[in-house]
Structure 1
């Protein structure tokens, strides 16, 4: 006896269940860089779970980081229509449940192209302003720092970066679950076993991706 066929939700007028989605936004001019290696590790780890992954490589997509008049916020009008490019990027970002930013730390901040992406895309009326907030559940910032952890903590550069990204950007856009992970000594200064040193970067990247997903998917399952 044949088992009954399950009805297609679409045939019943129901929406198909939405797949969990992660976006990985990264910035580095070289695809053979350590940053790119960390990105590939994150994307690979995310892919193991079967979720949908949107990788946004700002350099290869030739993202224009310059904010021009079309994308300048109108503080009196949160409904201002921005350029098609910005609206498309904003739609991609807001479709994600979790966003991973991967980048080198330059001048104790973001690379210019990534800062320009935030300026143009995470814009007034789209991610903040007019009572609107980002639809993203959580953000993970993975920064590759050339100097040692001691160098950063001695001068409070780590706290400066964490406050700027977690509070000044994520929190301002309504994302309370935001975390900065700095991978120190990307230049490998004084390292005796370089392969082991950089393997730890990849392992840490896997852990960050895995933990972020485990927590989020676990919370969603508890609500169903």
Structure 2
């Protein structure tokens, strides 16, 4: 399976970057072919220019070259994974802007939906799962991201996986890296 891995963190040499590397190794170990979209390294502009605004009137639309390149990238893959730090109980702005611009009307939703087989959202959260559960953050993120974005765009096999306690010690971080690799290995199961 060809898997587009959308990575969003300003520093590749971070825990998020290490999770990306382990996830990709897991994908490769299970026979999948990853393609990494490193939004910061590639300097993707998340702002919506007029040319890429959704045309909800139903007429034909021609997107900017930047969006067409990203749409081609999505189309040549069978599935998508996102790896990102959880900021304000959601995706970082660059990932949100990538979705806003690239997954546009009548290409990803509306008359035409995405044909991706599956999606996995891997969020790195500084706090523990108990804190997320107590405040309902996990449910809110699943509703917003899995139901409101992935399912809405036609990806019915989608889920959110949160890696908690990212600010803890080396043992905890190592366990998160082991889990990231396992997520890559079992992605296509």
Question: Normalising by structure 1, what TM-score?
Answer: 0.81
Runs of 4+ that moved beyond 3 A: none
Q: Count residues in correspondence.
A: 189
SS at match of 1:173: coil
Does residue 24 of structure 2 align to residue 43 of structure 1?
yes
- Tell me, yes or no, if structure 1 residue 106 matches structure 2 residue 80: no
Mapped partners of 2:33, 2:172: distance in 1: 30
Cα distance in 2 for partners of 1:83, 1:118 equals 15
- Pair 1:169 & 2:139 matched: no
Q: Structure 2: which 5+ residue stretches go unaligned? A: none
Structure 1 SS opposite 2:101? helix
CA distance in 1, matches of 2:109, 2:120: 19
Structure 2 partner of 1:90: 71
Q: 2:183 aligns with which of 208, 214, 218?
A: 208
What is the deviation of 1:94? 2.3
Rate the CA distance shift 1:78–1:47 in 2: closer, same or farther, 3 A: farther
Give the conservation status (yes or no) of the 8 Å contact 2:114–2:153. Answer: yes
Q: Which residue of 2 aligns with 1:72?
A: 53
RMSD of aligned residue pairs (Cα, Å):
1.1
2:131 aligned with 1:156 = no
Where in structure 1 are there 5+ consecutive unaligned residues?
A: 1-19, 189-193, 216-224
3-state SS of paired residue (2:96): helix
Residues 1:145 and 2:153 aligned together: no
Task: Report SS of the residue matched to 1:116.
Answer: helix
State the distance in 1 between where 2:80 and 2:132 align. Answer: 25
Deviation, structure 1 residue 135: 1.4
**Higher relative contact order by CA 8 Å / sep ≥ 6: 1 or 2?**
2
CA drift at 1:50: 3.8
For residue 212 of structure 1, report the CA deviation from its aligned partner: 1.7
C-alpha displacement at 1:98, in angstroms?
1.6
Deviation of 1:51 after TM superposition, in Å, equals: 3.0
SS at match of 1:23: strand
Q: Would the alpha carbon gap of residues 202 and 135 (structure 1) be closer, same or farther in structure 2, given more than 3 Å must change?
A: same
Q: Distance in 1 between matches of 2:102 and 2:129?
A: 31
Shift of 1:78: 5.6
Alignment partner, residue 218 of structure 1: none
1:195 aligns with 2:175: no
1:78–1:125 CA contact under 8 A, matched in 2: no
